[in-house]
Amino acid sequence: MLDMAEEKDLQSTVKPKVTLRDVHVHYGDVHAVNGIDLDLYSDKVTALIGPSGCGKSTLLRCLNRMNDTIPDCRVDGEILLDGKNIYDAKIDVVQLRARVGMVFQKPNPFPKSIYDNVAYGPRIHGIAADRTSLDEIVESSLEKAGLWQEVKDRLDDSGIALSGGQQQRLCIARAIAVSPEVILMDEPCSALDPIATAKVEALIDELSGRYAIVIVTHSMQQAARVSQKTVFFHLGEMIEQGDTTQIFTAPREERTRDYITGRFG
Amino acid sequence: MTDYQPFEHEQDDTGVDWNSPEMQARLHRRNIGDRFFRFVGFFAVTASAFFLVFLLGNIAQKGASGFLQTSIEIDVAFDADILPDPTNLEKDAFAAAVAQVNMQYLIRQALTNRFPEVTGRRDTTRLTRLLSSGARAQLRDIVIKNPELIGTTHRVSLLASDEIDQVVKGNTDVSVDEANRKLTDMELGWLQSLESEGRVTKDLHTRFLTSGDSREPELVGVWGAVAGSGLTLLVTLLTAFPIGVFAAIYLEEFAPKNRFTDIVEININNLAAVPSIVFGLLGLAVFLGLMGMARSAPLVGGLTLALLTLPTIIISARSAIAAVPPSIRDAARGLGASPMQVAFHHVVPLAMPGIMTGTIIGMARALGESAPLLMIGMVAFIVDVPASINDPATVLPVQIFIWADSPERAFIEKTSAAIMVLLFFLITMNGLAIWLRQKFERNW
């Protein structure tokens, strides 16, 4: 059935933004991710679902090499961004992370002003030429994150003074500010209340056309609401991938069906 | 698709009887235990508070009079025949000429005028010993400052000797047999006579805070030691702070976690527990022996104390850095910040309050340290206030040690007064640390 999915992908004329080929991840002796082949597309939201400890977050963190700092983590196989292996020695990890942004499980704004939070990325990468263009980047990023109206009068307030949902949208704005091509989201709503979750989900939907978004989630409903493609993991292996509607209405695998109907997980 | 079923609770008949006598007895025992522990804890706190108050009270009670000093007013005839004529002399030349004059003679004249019944060399010497040996210099300064006094007789206030001072303050018991005390009945009679005229005064002794050490208790000051401590701590801060903080940043943020860094970490922790005198030996061997630096100088003292403070600073800085939530590092890394940008833009600023608190605590420890400085010769008797880090100097704790070791009774209050000065600086530094911690403490 994996072959079928691949064939289907090959048929599409759009080139995948990120391609994973036979990716294995080891933490010391633990084989956390076992031979993943996956394509991610620029105009799609891909949801990674699966029970806790199935390796979906690990795989996500491989995509911008956030696992580099974990001492005994080893990544094998190929992860290609626009056809170039991101684990190649020639790849500069600093630049890679500018191209592949990340939003974390717990909102983690810097304890600085709202403005500085968004401006930090452009500043360290030297994206803005002067103060005016930096102002523009900050405004447009906050605008895209749907936060501009709420914070435009208090850009100098601390980012940690915002509510949880606002903080998470600030983090998304911060990620967008460096114009990434891929945005990785690691359970971005798990620390938020339902109303804030709804806002963030609406935002993901809004952003979906412009960036390749990969979202790890524990919520089936969320995967069903925001994603176009869904990948189901179990015990480090990819069990099934396909269009979200297909996964949720007609899963091919029994384990997928059991998981999405809540029989295990 | 929900096949959720509520958990079934089994009703068991072997339920607990919360009202049984055993249960009541157990509850009672627990409450007694609670009360007992609360009492013991309260007792412990009260006892330590009592000891602290006793200690501080004792020092304050003994030391407070150390800031006062007895002076005796005498009518000095500024004899124009002996003193130089200021009218045709430059200021410096006049001062030099005044310095040549035997002021002791003027003092003796003034005292024998007041007590004409005193004759004979021995008694006259006794009489002049009512005043401090520093009275000559005092009188000289008065003449230099007020040349118009020459040719007149003027009442001036001069420092009393330390023994007179102790009698006036009531620290010396004068009821004991004459043979067993330093002052004879005759001298006490003179003192009484002067007191009855209101010529004996106790004034705030600014000299104690502005001058250096002396052999005479009434002439000593802590300023030499305070300046020595200040210069020493400056050297300590300027070396230990950057080295310690950079070491902590490297170990926490950059160093690979392997056997070598583990050993380094264990050794740093062990160094923090090494007796301070060992650091003194190290300083003696390296800075004096190997590098041949100046003995007794704040430079060497500061470097030695820096060795002592380094582990404290590294340990506190490391824990402050480790306390910065990893999510902040993730956020910065996720935006493409390089490891150095992560450390210096985010981690270090957030850890700074903790680092500063640790540094101040380490500095306070260095300020109170005397043992390592004994090894590098900072225990010397130094009268001059040090002006640079290469001048011979002593520090407050060593000064206290020297005074405590001196036999004169008047040094008891000087020792306590110096302890009060040291405590003042320690409390100020700790207060600063607490203030910094509260001002910059963050909650994530």
Comparison of pLDDT for B34 and B148, the residue scoring more = B34
User: With 80 as the cut, is the pLDDT of residue B440 above it?
Assistant: no
Find the radius of gyration of the CA atoms of chain A: 18
Interval B142-149 mean pLDDT: 86
SS3 B386: coil
pLDDT tens string B174-232: 888 888 888 888 888 888 888 888 888 888 888 888 888 888 888 889 999 999 999 99
SS3 A79: strand
The pLDDT value given to residue A142: 92
The pLDDT value given to residue B1: 44
Orientation angle between helical segments B348-367 and B223-249, nearest 10 degrees: 140
Residue A243's beta-bridge partner residues?
A229
Give the DSSP letter string of B18-54: TTSHHHHHHHHHHHHHHHHHHHHHHHHHHHHHHHHHH
The pLDDT value given to residue B2: 47
Chain B touched by A175 (CB under 8 Å): yes
The pLDDT value given to residue B418: 93
**Spatial distance between the Cα atoms of B322 and A84, rounded to a whole number of angstroms:** 36
Of the candidates B373, B380, B386, B206, the residue with the CA atom closest to the CA atom of residue B301:
B373
Give me the long-range contacts of A137-140 (CB less than 8 A, separation at least 24): A137/A177, A138/A177
ipTM: 0.84
A95: chain B residues, CB-CB within 8 Å: 336
Could you give the C-alpha distances from B426 to A92, B102, B296, in angstroms and in order?
A: 50, 44, 23
Q: Closest Cα of chain B to A109: distance in Å?
A: 7
The pLDDT value given to residue B347: 93
- Residue B116: phi and psi, rounded to 5, are -65, -20
User: With 60 as the cut, is the pLDDT of residue B3 above it?
Assistant: no
pLDDT tens string B375-386: 888 888 888 888
Q: Which of A97, A111, A263 sits opposite B336 (nearest CB)?
A: A97
Chain A touched by B326 (CB under 8 Å): no
Q: Which of A94, A111, A262 sits opposite B336 (nearest CB)?
A: A94
Query: pTM of the entire structure?
Result: 0.80
A69: chain B residues, CB-CB within 8 Å: 333
A262: chain B residues, CB-CB within 8 Å: 1-2, 4
- pLDDT beneath 50: ranges in chain A: 1-2, 11
The pLDDT value given to residue A127: 86
Chain A touched by B345 (CB under 8 Å): yes
The pLDDT value given to residue B7: 59
Chain A touched by B6 (CB under 8 Å): no
Place of tokens 């600023």: B349
Cα dihedral B393, B396, B402, B407 sign = positive
B256: chain A residues, CB-CB within 8 Å: 71
Average pLDDT, chain B: 88
Contact between chains at A110 and B327 (C-beta distance less than 8 A): no
Selected residues 240-259 of chain B with any CB under 8 Å from a CB in chain A: 256-257
Contact A199, A207 (CB under 8 A): no
Chain B touched by A111 (CB under 8 Å): yes
Kindly report which listed range (A10-19, A80-89, B261-270, B321-330) carries the lowest average pLDDT score. A10-19
pLDDT tens string B241-258: 999 999 999 999 888 888
